[in-house]
Amino acid sequence: MDRQRTTPADKIRCDACPVMCYIAEGKIGACDRYANRDGRIIRCDPLTVLDRRIEQGGEIRPFLKSDWDGGLVAGDDLFVTAVGSGTTYPDYKPAPFIVSREIDGVDFVTVVTEAIFSYCGVKVKIDTDRHIGREGAVVRAQGEAVGLMITSEYGSQMMSLGGVDHLTGGSKPEGRVTCDTLMRLCNREAVALEVDGGATVVVQAGQAPVVDGHREERMRVGCGSATIGMFAVQWQGLVDEVVVVDDHITGVVSEHQAGKVLGWPDTGIRIKGRRSTPGRYFQVAEPGLGWGGTDITDPLTILGDWNPKKGAHPGLTLLMVSTTGEQWGYYVLDDALVPRPADLPDALKPSVDLIAENCEPAMCTVMFMGGAGGSLRSGVTKNPVQLTRSVQALKTQVTVGGARAYVWPGGGITLMADVTQMPDDAFGYVPTPAIVAPLEFTLRRDDYRALGGHDGAVRTLDDVLETGGAYGADSRAVARKRS
């Protein structure tokens, strides 16, 4: 393909997205991804090849043809990702690289392209039981609305960020900031997000969340009821009552089914909250940044008067603990049946430590989500719907920068992939604004022919690494993140 060759002194036009920048010699375009070098549009980043031979976390190096033993083409050691490949835009032409390789005696092709996504966003899972915002609350970056809080999951707060409404349906600053936020999150950078009526959270894929300046360490072991169920036996005989404080379900061992099965005696405790079932209470406090995701700093505030007719007596011992084991308090009822703080007996310490030990490290998960069922399919096949059907029939595997994508059932190619499984800086943007994401489709060569693929554009891996493509010949090798 002869791509806009002209004299070096002239500006030349990049046609890799609708912006169509004119780029002077030695300069780069508006997205920082394409440049004019010697009168030719080149991709600034090298084509990225995943190399199984590089140890996990090992070196990243320029990939030279001389590094490569041609015999390895017959295996699955090398995988050409779309990172640095360039794009199919304006879509009617074949994808930048359509690479053939043989795996276990079967011919496969991998079609790679850097896809431009307007319909895209991220789903963010933040492992914390601290309350960072109500479901439906607007999430902002740099003051602009970029998404919202969605239904929390077990031990995690969830956000849905981006999407076409924020990218293109609002003001220009909203679109620009949304695009920047998505790109940085997908490239595993730390991004500060403010929740209306809630907290400020620093989110970085694969790292602990920072909630209002507090770096979260642990994901809760379970709700208060689950914690009672798991550890009731550890407490039996060592303490008269245990309350596990939790914003979802606060558990009380003497009333809980686990305690009843163990023959735990009544204590006359009373919890201020909405009783769900025995030993399980909802809404003991407001959501917040305190004990167990509630707003309380003093756990005794959730207790009512103790009932001596139901077992309360002076000297009764009480352990109160949060679902991460981060907060705990030990109390003894005085003669007026008022809990008084006391030192935690050595015998009980291991049970508190066991809660903490059973908590997983708190982490942020960023899942890129996008709709790949649009015009980019024309870079794969002359008959786009055939690609959709092939993906849905599991004949074509979709990866994002080499990371396996989950493809949603139903129409289209709506995919989701974990950004921590992709090479560094895999995502870019164009100022329309839209996100540029690497996309690879891998399928058997005979299936590719059958779905109307651009079979004449298929090249060997050898040829790709030797001569590059329309946007240059640089490549780099990085370690595969997964075996």
Selected range binding ligand SF4 among 31-39, 244-252, 337-345, 462-470, rule: CB under 6 A: 31-39
Cβ closest to ligand SF4, residue 23 vs residue 465 = 23
Interaction of residue 86 with ligand SF4, rule CB under 6 A: no
Q: At what angle do helices 349-357 and 224-235 cross, to 10 degrees?
A: 140
Which residue, 64, 35, 72, is CA-closest to 47?
64
CB of 429 to ligand SF4, least distance (A): 8
Selected range binding ligand SF4 among 23-31, 290-298, 333-341, 356-364, rule: CB under 6 A: 23-31
Cβ closest to ligand SF4, residue 12 vs residue 380 = 12
Pair of tokens at residue 1 = 């393909």
Cβ closest to ligand SF4, residue 43 vs residue 130 = 43
- Candidates 5, 6, 20, 449: give the one binding ligand SF4 (CB under 6 A): 20
With H, G, I as helix, E, B as strand and everything else as coil, classify residue 40: strand
Interaction of residue 192 with ligand SF4, rule CB under 6 A: no
Q: Is-contact 236 264, C-beta < 8 A? A: yes
- Candidates 29, 198, 268, 384: give the one binding ligand SF4 (CB under 6 A): 29
**Residue type at 353?**
D
- CA–CA distance, 234 with 241 (Å, rounded to integer): 12
DSSP label at 46? P
Cβ closest to ligand SF4, residue 29 vs residue 287 = 29
Cβ closest to ligand SF4, residue 94 vs residue 279 = 94
Helix (H) / strand (E) element for 341: namely: strand 339-342
Q: Is-contact 389 396, C-beta < 8 A? A: no
Q: Is-contact 150 213, C-beta < 8 A? A: no
- Dihedral Cα 443, 446, 452, 455, nearest 10 deg: 90
Cβ closest to ligand SF4, residue 14 vs residue 413 = 14
Interaction of residue 72 with ligand SF4, rule CB under 6 A: no
Selected range binding ligand SF4 among 24-32, 123-131, 324-332, 379-387, rule: CB under 6 A: 24-32
Helix (H) / strand (E) element for 320: namely: strand 317-322
Interaction of residue 21 with ligand SF4, rule CB under 6 A: yes
x-or-dash pattern for ligand SF4, window 234-253, by CB under 6 A? --------------------
Question: Could you tell me if residue 427 is left (phi over 0), alpha (psi between -120 and 50 degrees) or otherwise beta?
Answer: beta
Interaction of residue 90 with ligand SF4, rule CB under 6 A: no
Interaction of residue 34 with ligand SF4, rule CB under 6 A: yes
Kindly give, in sequence order, each residue whose CB lies less than 8 Å from that of residue 146, ignoring residues fewer than 6 positions away.
139, 140, 161, 162, 166, 174, 177, 178, 181, 182, 193
Selected range binding ligand SF4 among 13-21, 64-72, 196-204, 438-446, rule: CB under 6 A: 13-21
Q: Is-contact 252 320, C-beta < 8 A? A: no
Q: Is-contact 222 366, C-beta < 8 A? A: no
CB of 226 to ligand SF4, least distance (A): 50
Interaction of residue 44 with ligand SF4, rule CB under 6 A: no
CB of 102 to ligand SF4, least distance (A): 34
Q: Is-contact 449 386, C-beta < 8 A? A: no
CB of 205 to ligand SF4, least distance (A): 25
Cβ closest to ligand SF4, residue 19 vs residue 416 = 19
Q: What is the 3-state secondary structure (H, E, C) of 364-421?
A: EEEEEEEECCCHHHHHCECCHHHHHHHHHCCCCEEEECCEECEECCCCCCEEEEEHHH
Interaction of residue 179 with ligand SF4, rule CB under 6 A: no
Cβ closest to ligand SF4, residue 90 vs residue 288 = 90
- Candidates 12, 17, 99, 285: give the one binding ligand SF4 (CB under 6 A): 17
- CA–CA distance, 146 with 166 (Å, rounded to integer): 6
CB of 155 to ligand SF4, least distance (A): 41
Considering only residues 395 to 434 of the shown chain, the ones binding ligand SF4 according to CB under 6 A are 430-431
Exposed, middle or buried: residue 118 (CB in 10 Å: 0-12, 13-18, 19+)? middle
Cβ closest to ligand SF4, residue 290 vs residue 468 = 468
Interaction of residue 79 with ligand SF4, rule CB under 6 A: no
Interaction of residue 131 with ligand SF4, rule CB under 6 A: no
Selected range binding ligand SF4 among 11-19, 132-140, 301-309, 441-449, rule: CB under 6 A: 11-19
Chain residue whose CB lies nearest ligand SF4: 29
Pair of tokens at residue 332 = 């003894």
- Candidates 3, 10, 25, 30: give the one binding ligand SF4 (CB under 6 A): 30
Give the count of beta carbons closer than 10 Å to the beta carbon of residue 72: 15
- Candidates 12, 16, 50, 451: give the one binding ligand SF4 (CB under 6 A): 16
Interaction of residue 437 with ligand SF4, rule CB under 6 A: no
Place of tokens 């974990």: 418
Interaction of residue 31 with ligand SF4, rule CB under 6 A: yes
| Interaction site with ligand SF4 (CB under 6 A) | 14, 16-17, 19-21, 29-31, 33-34, 430-431
